[in-house]
Amino acid sequence: MVRVLHIVSSLGSGGVEACLYAYYTHIDREKIHFDFVVHADSVGMLETEFLEMGSRVVHVTPKKKSLIQNLREIGKVIREGHYDAVHVHQGTSSITSLLLAKRYKVPVKIVHYHDNKRKTGLRGVMQGVLRKAIYAVADWYFACGEEAGQAMYGRLWGVSPKCRLLRNAKDLSLYHMDAEARQSLRASIGAAAEDLVVLHVGRMSDQKNQSFLLDIFAKVHEARPSAKLVIAGEGPLRQALEQKVSDLGLTEAVHFLGAVRNVNLWYSAADVFMLPSRNEGLPLVAVEAQISGLPVICSTCVPASTAITDVVRFIPLTENLSAWRDAVLEAAAQPRIDHTEAVRAAGYDINTESQVYEAWLLETIGATKC
């Protein structure tokens, strides 16, 4: 059996862990085993799911709290686990875990980038130094999309044989339009059939820019007083966002779901999906929305490759609120068309992609044992 240790920030409801969950539920777990190191004290929504599938999950001291303790704890997991591969999902800070994997002679060391933004100034210089260190230590350079690969690996991306695209693939059958779910979920938030429902799914953080989302929705609400905004996800900014909703007088119109397991059904319930992020790798949620034909409005900070279909529109964050409002109202008037086949053709079907990943992993590990 091939044993893989994934090193992540959390096992909540974010895109990284959702991607890993999709792959792990679709590969042969008698041949490949996943364990996890998590840099968070809290137990995430998907942690129980991985434990039930036999994974070991170890919570370690975050680097910011104690780098020395963090290194000791991760080193102990790697040393005792006898892993065939260590797969790190923490951007340029992945270097510490990769160095530990090298120290303990792990055969395959993978760095996986999920963002499309490079830092500037002094942080950019430090990021550049860490990237070069990663190139020297990692055996494989993974990215969730072309833009993320270019941001992390620069000229190496698409040229070096070490580079590999691992798409954030999904079980497409979960995101088909569901008329029954649409009716029941809209009723649960007091939305009538003719009311406009805007959906956002994402961790409540500065990156996802939900404060700006609320400003946009306030403008939409002026035009459509019966409109509702549904926000699914958790995060450190939830309390501040709830306070802003109150300050805007939108308490009855904005619904915070928290981390929910039926988010796939909310795509059926909504009329427009919004993602005004400051930066993204390749957002799973926008792919999920497109499967059911839900119109998607993104900031131009979201990679252009997110637009697998023609239901996606990009607007600069510098554009005024009226332009965003108009885009929402125009999108809501679009007919709903299932785009499953287009998404499958673009390479996002987990049934296909998981088999490609499984074969690659078995072949790559096998080559190290020859």
Q: What is the pLDDT of residue 125?
A: 84
d(CA 127, CA 184): 47
Mean pLDDT of 183-207: 96
Residues forming CATH 3.40.50.2000 domain(s) in the chain: 2-169+349-368, 172-345
DSSP state of 138: -
* 112: phi then psi, degrees, rounded to nearest 5: -130, 120
Give the pLDDT band of residue 33 (cuts 50, 70, 90).
very high
- Please answer whether residues 113 and 143 qualify as being in contact, where contact means their C-beta atoms are separated by less than 8 angstroms: yes
Share of the chain above pLDDT 70, in %: 99
Task: Specify whether domain 2-169+349-368 bears CATH 2.40.50.140.
Answer: no
Distance CA 342, CA 151 (A): 26
Q: CA of 170: how far to CAs of 147, 222, 242, 315, in Å?
A: 20, 36, 31, 26
Would the pLDDT of 361 be above 70?
yes
Question: 112-171: per-residue pLDDT in tens?
Answer: 998 877 777 777 788 889 889 999 999 999 998 888 898 889 889 989 999 999 998 989
Residue 87 pLDDT:
98
The pLDDT of residue 109: 98
Q: What is the DSSP letter of 42?
A: S
Query: Which of 72-86, 113-127, 175-189 has the weakest average pLDDT?
Result: 113-127
Record: fold of 172-345 = Rossmann fold (3.40.50)
Cα separation of 207 and 277, whole Å?
Answer: 6
pLDDT above 80 for 370: no
- Euclidean distance between CA atoms 253 and 198, whole angstroms: 10
Q: What is the pTM of this model?
A: 0.84
Total number of residues shown for the chain: 370
252-310 tens-digit pLDDT: 999 999 988 899 999 999 999 999 999 887 888 999 999 989 999 999 999 998 999 99
Average pLDDT, integer, range 307-317: 96
